[in-house]
Amino acid sequence: MRAELADAVRRTTSGLRVVDPDLTVVSVLLGDSPLTEREQGVLGVAADGGTVADIARATSLGESTARNYLSAAMGKTGVRNRADAVRIA
């Protein structure tokens, strides 16, 4: 494992792309994400733990719109809270 990680770091720093084969298989089996790019972006900002106002500011959205994207992402991922949506996404 240590040798694989070192090799991946060397390849990445030389400009190559490194893709984990296990992650690739899981990704293919699960299919496309049900989330839109905007929902993914909002969740990405939410991962930092900010407030809705912070998320809105970082994504250039109004607070109500940011809240709507969070709700949509939570609904699509079938979770009860923002943290779980971030974890699943």
CATH number at residue 50: 1.10.10.10
State the total domains in the chain: 2
Say if residues 78 and 69 touch (Cβ distance below 8 Å): no
Q: Say yes or no: 76 and 46 in one domain.
A: yes
Q: How deeply is 38 buried, as exposed, middle or buried, from its count of CB atoms within 10 A (0-12, 13-18, 19+)?
A: middle
Evaluate if pTM is beyond 0.85. Answer: no
Q: Say yes or no: 43 and 27 in one domain.
A: no
Non-local CB neighbours of 38 within 8 Å, separated by 6+ positions: 59, 69
Q: Cα–Cα distance between 72 and 67 in angstroms, integer?
A: 9
7-58 pLDDT, tens digit per residue, is 888 888 888 877 776 666 666 566 677 889 899 999 999 998 889 999 999 9
